[in-house]
Amino acid sequence: MKILVTGARGMLGSDVMKAAEEAGHDVRGFSHTGLDITDGDALERRFGIDRPDAVINCAAWTDVDGAEDDPEGALLSNGTAAGLVSSAAAAVGARIVYVSSDYVFDGQKGSDYVESDATSPISVYGKTKLAGEVATLQANRRAYVVRSSWLFGLDGPNFVDTMIRLGKSQGQVLVVHDQVGAPTYTWHLAYGIVRMLDSDAYGVHHMAGGGHCSWYEFAGEIFSQAGMEVVTLSATTEMFGRKAPRPAFSALISENPHAIVLPVWQDGLKGYLGQKKSLEGAASE
């Protein structure tokens, strides 16, 4: 299959490129400067030349707090542009994958969210991701929306790296205990997204690491798996005073009969730390 990836230099986009190549697909990826998804004409030109069978849209505005200061900018990238990508894909008969977020939910359900649960985003970012879902599904009848959460991977700043850095430099960290979600290793998600393209199960898919935890529990597991002695202090969301509100409980599971089930988050973490170690080992040889 010929696959085109937008946002290909991002944390998820980089792993999607590798997973698609490993699965034997003919893959072409574009960075932000290579293909700006807010430029509808550029999208139509590019897709007209490359004639992909599928487009995986990993390009997004991902600054959750920054979106509160610039709702129009966030909506342009996550909502309007998602519709442009989807319709340009439809014009060449390509399927489209839009990567969405657990932040489309308000976090008040108190248990794992399934695809049919009502959405009710509480942040600007969440609202723009929901707008992107709708725009993607409306513009292309062969559209998949993949909701995931709490991503960590090699090619982007992430919570795991932050904890390890702070743990090494300070010996103690302060982490919120009142937000619960499903940490997801981007390599596992990328592999799942590429596998999903083998089926015609269009529509919404929840695809996140199995199980759930709070950020505080996640930090504890990071230090345990990394073999680090770090004092982990628990805090409330309110204490951090972040600009954008976050859902209190936003773990995702799937009720989709074609669900692609990812490994539990602890295994995702193990895979990520292992991958980092082998790359560091190779770099020092």
Query: To which residue do tokens 């519709």 refer?
Result: 83
* Interface pattern 218-247 for ligand NAP (x via CB under 6 A): ------------------------------
CB distance 29 to 17 below 8 Å = yes
Residues within window 83-122 making contact with ligand NAP, judged by CB under 6 A? 99, 101
180-181 vs 213-214, strand pairing mode: antiparallel
Residue of 98, 125, 144, 216 marked active site: 125
End-to-end CA distance of the chain: 37
CB distance 164 to 195 below 8 Å = no
Sign, CA dihedral 97-99-105-111, equals: positive
Contacting residue, 19, 29, 56, 62, with ligand NAP by CB under 6 A: 62
Contacting residue, 7, 83, 126, 220, with ligand NAP by CB under 6 A: 7
Q: Is 125 a catalytic residue?
A: yes
95-101 vs 2-6, strand pairing mode: unpaired
Q: Does 150 bind ligand NAP (CB under 6 A)?
A: yes
**For the chain, what's the residue count?**
285
CA neighbor of 260 nearest in space, from 193, 185, 204: 193
Q: Does 276 bind ligand NAP (CB under 6 A)?
A: no
Q: Does 32 bind ligand NAP (CB under 6 A)?
A: yes
Q: Does 38 bind ligand NAP (CB under 6 A)?
A: yes
Q: Does 151 bind ligand NAP (CB under 6 A)?
A: yes
Residues that bind ligand NAP (CB under 6 A): 6-7, 9-13, 32, 36-38, 58-62, 77, 81, 99, 101, 129, 148-151, 156
